Amino acid sequence: MAGERILIVDDNPINMKLVSFLLDKRGYQVKCATGAEEALEVLRTFRPALILMDMQMPGIDGFELTRRLKADPAMRGITIVAVTAYAMKGDEQRVRDAGCDGYLVKPIDTRTLPQVIAGYLSSGARP
């Protein structure tokens, strides 16, 4: 699905740079935001098909940002995939209850990430 727009929201610059590199290399149009406020600013002019959302961020966390985006009629069709270290029993349900359409556990498997993203894009909602 080369050319699809993806927004990465992550406060860890190393994680963001790695995922951005992997997806950019596959032909996706990638934008990055280091937090919720920056993500909201990016979303004013960039409408992604998919958002990779870090759930643990200072200030407005990924749970709250996801709830806000899913409550906005203009944004609710964007596929949001949680990228999180939360991997205990019940964590995936908590992420889905916030409105996320998918769930990836850190550390990310860089070998399979492009295929996983392609799967979400081919089956996910469109903005």
Q: pLDDT by residue (tens digit) across 93-118? A: 888 899 999 989 888 899 999 899 99
Number of domains in the chain: 1
User: Does residue 85 surpass a pLDDT of 90?
Assistant: no
Alpha-carbon span 58 to 99, nearest angstrom: 19
126 assigned to some structural domain:
no
Picking from 114, 115, 87, 82, the residue whose alpha carbon sits closest to that of residue 99 is: 82
Residue-range definition of the domain harbouring residue 16 = 5-118
49 assigned to some structural domain:
yes
Both tokens assigned to 40: 């909201």
Q: Say which CATH number the domain at 59 has.
A: 3.40.50.2300
> Rounded mean pLDDT of the chain?
90
19 assigned to some structural domain:
yes
Picking from 5, 56, 52, the residue whose alpha carbon sits closest to that of residue 33 is: 52
33 assigned to some structural domain:
yes
The beta-strand segments (E) located in the chain are: 5-9, 29-33, 50-54, 79-84, 102-105
124 assigned to some structural domain:
no
- Beta-carbon neighbour count of residue 112 at 10 Å? 11
